Structure 1
Amino acid sequence: MGKAKSYGNESISSLKGADRVRKRPGVIFGSDGLEGCEHAVFEILSNSIDEAREGHGKVITVTRYGDHSVEVEDCGRGCPVDWNPKENRYNWELVYCELYAGGKYNNNEGDNYEYSLGLNGLGACATQYASRYMDVTVWRDGFEYALHFERGQIVGELSKTPLSRKKTGTRHRWLPDLDVFTDIDIPAEFFTDVLKRQAVVNAGITFRFRNEVGPGKFETSEFLYENGISDYVAELAGEGSLTAPVFWQAERRGSDRADKPEYKVKLSVACCFSNKVHIIEHYHNSSWLEHGGSPEKAAKSAFVSAIDAYLKQNGKYQKSESKVTWADVEDCLVLVSSNFSTATSYENQTKKAITNKFVQEAMTDFLRSNLEIYFIENRFDAEKIAEQVLVNKRSRESAEKARLNIKKKLSGSIDIANRVQKFVDCRSRDVDKREIYIVEGDSALGSVKLSRDADYQGIMPVRGKILNCLKADYGKIFKSEIITDLVKVLGCGVEVQNKHVKDMASFDLGNLRWNKVIICTDGDVDGFQIRTLILTMLYRLTPTLIREGYVYIAETPLFEITCGDKTWFAYSDQEKVGILKELEGKKVKVDRSKGLGENDPDMMWLTTMNPETRRLIRVMPEDVEETARVFDLLLGENLPGRKDHIAENGYKYLEMADIS
């Protein structure tokens, strides 16, 4: 036994300098993978956005280079990097080498960055620390300043040269470090998505994206929304929406708690109703709130409350009808909110949700009051909205009722008139628990029936080798009693449009009676062939069951290895060799495992049916085209291909072939 490691006063240590980010990037960026690397880009971009929002520069250019480096350039005032007498240090040290240092802590009204996306003074420094290198160029006060960092350390000194022309702004170019992130190949789609979103919520600012597609060759695209979210909602809704887009804006002042200081919130919402599209997006201080938070809760509360009130006041509900829900409203709503506040509580540094209580309260009241006025002033549109929301509600309720009825029906026994011979059902009415074992022959039926858990395991025997469904036409397939019985037991119908399937229900995954469809055959050549034929049938008639992962193969052991009073089961020759190696020097007995019909119930339960000990292989083809090709080669009409395949690979299986 190894000596236990001591845990004393000398065991405690702290990360310093760049190691605070390089060794724990997930703390700052939310991930050490590609998502974290992408968030680092947004940290730098957000500083440029804050400058542009303050009226300093109207163009921000982002470049994606072929070597995975990224460049962000703005036309702002230029990041201060020279000597800071107050701090007795250079500003570049504070900005790029000091976490929690920056110019956005004094967010009082009238100060710089009243509505700032970056508040914590982390982004520039953390990104620099996480980079293989970073080059910073600043133009301000008539000078060009340049800095070069490598792996979190300054290389050389701050250079300062006079400018021959008037220019201000900041340019960052950096290469994310593979020692920090597991992946740095940020796709072009990330940049286009982020820049488009920023153009939406920063009206009148041009976001230019340059993507290097070859050495020195760039493809350029630009994103600009002159009227911000109003133009965006009109674009999302397209032509033929139920109502024209409206834009509401207001400012509120308040606090998250009575003892907390007040702050200001600027609220902006554009929305319309449509029976073609439904999209809802929330932004705060330019950051897309992928996970919503306060604005999402406000929208749900305000829209449901206002529409429900209108429906009640105008007698739109039927007698004893339940009220509308958010799902009914959301299904026909196109809404984009873009709010700004002087104090923001993000869920975490990645800024994907906010938790401000006052923002939620202010936005709820703001939306509810605007909706009430809108319904009064736009009676025709209000009627269309009410009608569509009620259609959504009643459709949802009908669908839910039908789903529950179907589930109840499918959870019960198969109707006596359609009872399938020798099919053995289970007792459970819960479709999510029910399993059907498709077994080989009547003898296996008896053995499996004694071994199963009758609460949730049903059995369907197939007699002999069923029809090859790749070679046969549909007329022949649906004359096969074995196949039609099996389809009836599954309950989901078939994915076939043909005159021969008039007695078969059309496919509906919701009608499937089972959570698992398990093919259970002997572990010999005949068993493999029967398994393949059943899989072929499912592949041709109900491919969705395979694609969605409902079909499984139950592995049955090939060998029973006995040593004393203990028995091991080997599912392959390789496993047999491994077990014998472990038992080397002991007296062992190796028997070829019997067929399913010859196994005793305890062994069947242990090896094939007990969820704790059985081995199930989920049939989940990753490439449907490749699966179709192999099925056709082995079982279809491709005779020349099959001959070539046997000629090239047949020697591998001579020992398994049943040749006398």
Structure 2
Amino acid sequence: MTPNYDEGSIKTLDWQEHIRKRPGMYIGKLGDGTASDDGIYVLLKEVLDNSIDEFMMGFGKKIEVKVSNELVSVRDYGRGIPLGKLKDVASKMNTGAKYDSEVFKKSVGLNGVGIKAVNALSTTFNIKAFREGQVKEIIFSMGQVVEEKEVTTTEQPNGTEVSFVPDGDIFRNYRFRADYVENMMKNYSFLNAGLVIYCNGERYQSKNGLKDLLEENLDSEPLYPVIHLKGEDIELALTHGNQYGEDYYSFVNGQHTTQGGTHLVAFREAIVKTIRDFYKKDFDPSDIRASIIAAISIKVEEPVFESQTKTKLGSRDIGPDGPTVRNHVVNFVSKELDNYLHKNGDVAEVLLRRIQESERERKAISGIKKLAKQRAKKVSLHNRKLRDCRVHFNSTKDNKAESSIFITEGDSASGSITKSRDVNTQAVFSLKGKPLNTFGLTKKVVYENEEFNLLQAALNIEESMDDLRYNKVIIATDADVDGMHIRLLLITFFLQFFPEVVKKGHLYILQTPLFRVRNKKKTFYCYSDEERVSAIAECGKAAEITRFKGLGEISPDEFKNFIGPDIRLEPVLMKKHESVSQMLEFYMGKNTPERQEFIIGNLYVEKDEV
């Protein structure tokens, strides 16, 4: 029977209900803090953006941030929200000063939604405004006012303080990762020279903007000193290294546009055009941009982002008043980079040698590349290694961020995952055994080795990271010596030839339980000794304890518990002091005894029961 479609079918939700019912519309995906774009970091960013906008307008040179799993707080020393509008700013949709372009010329938050989303998605949300010797405070819970305090006098300087606790029912089992929070603070300081951020006892400040950002993220000595160019509403920095791939950091109005957009496309085009014109040679774009590491930051009035999370700029190339983003970027790069190369002949010479070297390597592997493509084409019609999913990261689907691929070892493990996966968002790629150690080898091996060539084709990263088909590339191996070794060999492959997969936060390790503890009423899956002890205490004397020695031992029915909503992933992260070359040398170089010690030291060793 078809339900009636009448007046009763039409529902109007309060603003907070709508945000809580459809949080993805406002903050992207939820997540548990494992990925850098998970919702809890978006909440922090939304609050911080308001403080950054104050600094950009010339008010408040200091921001104090405290982040823990129990409470997040941000205190700025800007003008302070007008006391009479404090409630509206925190709880009334489409309210904020950023609609007045005279007050906020080039801000990130333009739709008056961000801070309301934080309010609605927090069990506690406390906002205080300090203004001209007075303070007003309002406490909310899930968007509803709990207490609105009277205006009182204060000796505190002007500014705003926001503290909140993310709702654990929405962000299940969340925890903030120090690495991600630290990276966010560094980016804010790089983009706002002169701003001082204090976060969890650390001080973040940058004097040289994007130049500092590149030097912070370089794996090794660059081929030439970082080129740092600044103009009105635009700043860029670039150099070349010896790594494979291209590495970009792009920002709009202080927002890290992780998926690029109009400005980054224009920047990449402009670099090619300028260098071709300078050397008067029609170089292949891939040779010009090979091993580049660059950053671009632009400021735009009323930017158009492709989503509320503002990870991709979608502003038009030409606006009603003439050239906008694209032309501005191209014109600036063409003029300033050309001037720099003319004035710095030594840099121009090094850059030319790097381009020619890339050209030689590309031509040397063109033959084997052609054969590999033909071979891949034949098997792609029935690629037994890949069990694909329906939703891909390079699509336009709303849930594309959930797209993932498991790289497994052997038929038994891939069989369990294949049978229990979500066919919409989870793909499986099966290895036949230990992959080749690619340490020190050239990219030629990617095409000569059928398994690596098929993996590269499955991920769709041969030409560019822009085409990556899966947001999460998950290594799923057994928790034994062989499994750890395969894990290291795969990490080596990515670090050696596709470091952006690691740097951009796409590579993960699947955590699977070491034990199952159960009685007739309850079942616990334990990922550590502590969890095992706790589960045994919960189950009592009748506890049945099973040790999982390999992924293939776990039945598909059970496996779906480990790769479903409660999946545990460990991101493969790189820190400043861990350059690609250093990591590769340690893990996969000739220091075999040290590597064995590392592998064994990082394994779980089953202890005798007492």
State the TM-score bracket (shorter-chain normalisation).
Answer: 0.5 to 0.7
The yes-or-no answer on 1:274 pairing with 2:265 is: no
Q: What corresponds to 1:22 in structure 2?
A: 20
Would the alpha carbon gap of residues 403 and 491 (structure 1) be closer, same or farther in structure 2, given more than 3 Å must change? farther
Aligned-pair CA distance for 1:237: 4.2
Q: What corresponds to 1:385 in structure 2?
A: 351
The yes-or-no answer on 1:106 pairing with 2:100 is: yes
Match of 1:73 among 72, 75, 78: 75
Aligned-pair CA distance for 1:300: 1.5
Q: What corresponds to 2:605 in structure 1?
A: none
* Runs of 5+ unmatched residues, structure 2: 33-37, 318-323, 386-430, 438-444, 456-480, 491-558, 564-568, 571-607
Match of 1:141 among 132, 145, 165: 132
CA distance in 2, matches of 1:300, 1:306: 10
Q: Helix, strand or coil: the match of 2:15?
A: coil
Would the alpha carbon gap of residues 492 and 360 (structure 1) be closer, same or farther in structure 2, given more than 3 Å must change? same
CA distance in 2, matches of 1:342, 1:514: 44
CA distance in 2, matches of 1:159, 1:47: 24
Q: What corresponds to 2:214 in structure 1?
A: 233
CA distance in 2, matches of 1:514, 1:286: 38
Q: What corresponds to 2:382 in structure 1?
A: 433
The yes-or-no answer on 1:310 pairing with 2:264 is: no
Q: How does 1:157-306 map to 2 (within 5 A)?
A: 157-163=148-154, 165=155, 167-210=157-200, 220-237=201-218, 240-251=221-232, 266-275=233-242, 279-306=247-274
CA distance in 2, matches of 1:196, 1:134: 25
Q: What corresponds to 1:11 in structure 2?
A: 9
Contact 2:220-2:241 within 8 A present in 1 as well: no
Would the alpha carbon gap of residues 208 and 507 (structure 1) be closer, same or farther in structure 2, given more than 3 Å must change? closer
Match of 2:336 among 353, 370, 374: 370
CA distance in 1, matches of 2:296, 2:230: 10
Aligned-pair CA distance for 1:299: 1.4
The yes-or-no answer on 1:510 pairing with 2:449 is: yes
CA distance in 1, matches of 2:153, 2:487: 70
Match of 1:56 among 34, 56, 59: 59
Would the alpha carbon gap of residues 38 and 238 (structure 1) be closer, same or farther in structure 2, given more than 3 Å must change? closer
Would the alpha carbon gap of residues 513 and 383 (structure 1) be closer, same or farther in structure 2, given more than 3 Å must change? closer
Aligned-pair CA distance for 1:162: 1.0
**Bigger Rg, which one:** 1
Q: How does 1:451-530 map to 2 (within 5 A)?
A: 510-511=449-450
Q: Helix, strand or coil: the match of 1:156?
A: strand
Aligned-pair CA distance for 1:41: 1.3
Q: Helix, strand or coil: the match of 1:375?
A: helix
Q: Structure 1, residues 74-110: CA drift from partner, whole Å, max 9, x if none? A: 111212222xxxxxxxx12320111110001111xxx
Match of 1:39 among 2, 26, 42: 42
* Runs of 5+ unmatched residues, structure 1: 83-90, 211-219, 252-265, 318-322, 412-427, 437-489, 497-505, 517-538, 549-616, 624-644, 649-660
Match of 1:340 among 286, 293, 299: 299
CA distance in 1, matches of 2:123, 2:161: 17
Q: How does 1:403-442 map to 2 (within 5 A)?
A: 403-405=369-371, 429-430=378-379, 433=382
Q: Helix, strand or coil: the match of 2:109?
A: coil
CA RMSD of aligned residues (A): 4.0
Match of 1:152 among 143, 156, 163: 143
1:346 is aligned with what amino acid? F
CA distance in 2, matches of 1:130, 1:433: 45
Would the alpha carbon gap of residues 332 and 161 (structure 1) be closer, same or farther in structure 2, given more than 3 Å must change? same
Contact 2:436-2:489 within 8 A present in 1 as well: no
Name whichever of 25-34 and 229-238 sits farther off.
229-238
Aligned-pair CA distance for 1:10: 2.3
Q: How does 1:584-599 map to 2 (within 5 A)?
A: none
Q: Helix, strand or coil: the match of 1:353?
A: coil
Q: Structure 1, residues 389-439: CA drift from partner, whole Å, max 9, x if none? A: 12113312322422333566x78xxxxxxxxxxxxxxxx954773669xxx
Contact 2:83-2:131 within 8 A present in 1 as well: no
Contact 2:435-2:489 within 8 A present in 1 as well: no
Would the alpha carbon gap of residues 434 and 95 (structure 1) be closer, same or farther in structure 2, given more than 3 Å must change? closer
Aligned-pair CA distance for 1:236: 3.6
Would the alpha carbon gap of residues 394 and 311 (structure 1) be closer, same or farther in structure 2, given more than 3 Å must change? farther
Q: What corresponds to 1:361 in structure 2?
A: 327
Q: TM-score, structure 1 length as denominator?
A: 0.56
Aligned-pair CA distance for 1:156: 2.6
CA distance in 2, matches of 1:312, 1:491: 48
1:246 is aligned with what amino acid? I
Q: Which has the higher contact order (CA 8 A, sep 6+)?
A: 2
Aligned-pair CA distance for 1:493: 11
Would the alpha carbon gap of residues 364 and 404 (structure 1) be closer, same or farther in structure 2, given more than 3 Å must change? same
Q: Helix, strand or coil: the match of 1:99?
A: coil
1:369 is aligned with what amino acid? K
CA distance in 2, matches of 1:4, 1:54: 56
Q: What corresponds to 2:515 in structure 1?
A: none
Q: What corresponds to 2:585 in structure 1?
A: none
Would the alpha carbon gap of residues 98 and 330 (structure 1) be closer, same or farther in structure 2, given more than 3 Å must change? same
CA distance in 1, matches of 2:53, 2:298: 14
CA distance in 2, matches of 1:398, 1:433: 30
CA distance in 1, matches of 2:7, 2:435: 69
Q: Structure 1, residues 350-384: CA drift from partner, whole Å, max 9, x if none? A: 01111222212210121122222223222232122
Contact 2:368-2:447 within 8 A present in 1 as well: no
Q: Helix, strand or coil: the match of 1:203?
A: coil
CA distance in 2, matches of 1:378, 1:100: 50
CA distance in 2, matches of 1:387, 1:394: 11
Q: Structure 1, residues 449-492: CA drift from partner, whole Å, max 9, x if none? A: xxxxxxxxxxxxxxxxxxxxxxxxxxxxxxxxxxxxxxxxx999
CA distance in 1, matches of 2:74, 2:359: 47
1:127 is aligned with what amino acid? V
CA distance in 2, matches of 1:93, 1:238: 47
Aligned-pair CA distance for 1:344: 0.6
Aligned-pair CA distance for 1:28: 0.8
Contact 1:495-1:507 within 8 A present in 2 as well: no
Query: Structure 1 vs Structure 2: percent identity of aligned residues?
Result: 24
Would the alpha carbon gap of residues 189 and 159 (structure 1) be closer, same or farther in structure 2, given more than 3 Å must change? farther
CA distance in 1, matches of 2:193, 2:310: 21
Contact 2:186-2:204 within 8 A present in 1 as well: yes
Name whichever of 168-177 and 398-407 sits farther off.
398-407
CA distance in 1, matches of 2:141, 2:435: 62
Contact 1:37-1:183 within 8 A present in 2 as well: no
Aligned-pair CA distance for 1:547: 8.8
1:19 is aligned with what amino acid? E
Aligned-pair CA distance for 1:239: 7.0
Aligned-pair CA distance for 1:189: 2.2
Contact 1:491-1:513 within 8 A present in 2 as well: no
1:351 is aligned with what amino acid? K
Would the alpha carbon gap of residues 507 and 116 (structure 1) be closer, same or farther in structure 2, given more than 3 Å must change? closer
